[in-house]
Amino acid sequence: MRKWIDRRNAGEYASALFKACLVTAALTGGPLVCARPATAQVIVSSINGDPITNIDIDQRMKLLRVLHQNATRDAAIESLYADRLETQETEKFGVNPKDSDLSTEIVKVAQDVKMQPEALLAALQHAGVSQDHLKAYFRANLAFTVLVQALNKGVEASETQVREELAKQGGKAAGTAYTVQQIIFTVPTTATPAAVAARAHEVEQLRARFTDCDTGIPLARAINDVTVRDPLVRTSLEINDSLRELLDKTPVGHLTAPSRTTSGLEMVAVCVKGPAKDDTAARQAVAQKLLAAKIAEDSARRLKELRDRAVIVKAAP
């Protein structure tokens, strides 16, 4: 009886077929020549026995284009090799991040390409990158970073290194200090467009009257269904770039433009803005920066060692 291969198991079938070819090639000492599977998936090469298909390569080229990286076929293959090596290594130590853990890596990559995380994911989807492929990419990178950090547990930037870095930055090291208060106009998620528009009108009325925090905060508190948070002091080194730019362009004593969130329409009142006197945040930021550089350097070294030892078999053209 003829055995049919279900499409859902095509990947497993291709992998099993390729591993059989690896055994044959190893026994005969000849080149690797595999018959193409019945699906459009064609195995192009393997690294330590882990097959890479033409579909993998096509997906990776699309992903690299969105990330503004070299997206040639060879670059895509090398990127896939790196992912597979990272995954193989982290599995030895039982490091396997869950889908819910991937947000930190997505945020990091989004910052590198100067995009909002939501915009990055939308761009990847628009480019045709499958959810499985992008998850595998982010998971491999995150897992390897977690592993290298664990292997470097206890490693810290020295006080001398921190002082030298602060000296390079001169008087700007401490950054800018902002005293802010968050103001939230509650808007139910089920609100009609008309209700949202009416609430937005109230927001603009407050913004027009808000000229300083001493008089503006009481005005905000007097409005129905408005929450005013306690004052917070944050330095430019403790907040992300987009928020820092927003606070920098907002005059002291005024409100930022509102943003729609699950809570409603939110704004930030900029009450005080000036040079930070306490360099604690600056010292912490510098220490984290130096440590991140060390981790990145060690990560690259370990990956190179794995790549040098890897067994790569390419399918015959």
> 72 in helix, strand or coil?
coil
254 and 122 housed in the same domain? no
Domain membership flag for residue 76? yes
What phi and psi, each to the nearest 5 degrees, are found at residue 156?
Answer: -140, 160
CB atoms within 10 A of CB 140: 23
Question: What is the reported pLDDT for 227?
Answer: 96
Beta bridge pairs of residue 178: 234, 273
Round the average pLDDT of the chain to a whole number and report it. 84
Query: Mean per-residue pLDDT for 120-124?
Result: 94
Q: How many domains does the chain have?
A: 2
Domain membership flag for residue 285? no
Torsion of CA 270, 274, 275, 279, to 10 degrees: -40
User: Hey, CA dihedral for 197, 199, 201, 207, is it positive or negative?
Assistant: negative
Percent of the chain residues past pLDDT 70, beyond the cut = 83
Return the amino acid letter for 37.
P
Half-sphere exposure of 18 (CA within 13 A, CB side): 26
Question: What is the reported pLDDT for 41?
Answer: 87
100 and 183 housed in the same domain? no
CATH number at residue 217: 3.10.50.40
DSSP letters along 76-103, please? HHHHHHHHHHHHHHHHHTT----GGGTH
What phi and psi, each to the nearest 5 degrees, are found at residue 184?
Answer: -120, 120
79 and 44 housed in the same domain? yes
Question: What is the reported pLDDT for 121?
Answer: 93
100 and 193 housed in the same domain? no
pLDDT in tens, 284-306: 777 778 888 888 999 999 999 99
Return the amino acid letter for 266.
E
Domain membership flag for residue 280? no
14 and 121 housed in the same domain? yes
pLDDT in tens, 24-38: 444 444 444 444 444
| Residues in Cβ contact with 145 at an 8 Å cutoff, skipping those fewer than 6 apart | 105, 295, 299
Domain that holds residue 129: 7-152+300-314
Q: Which two tokens stand for residue 59?
A: 């997906």
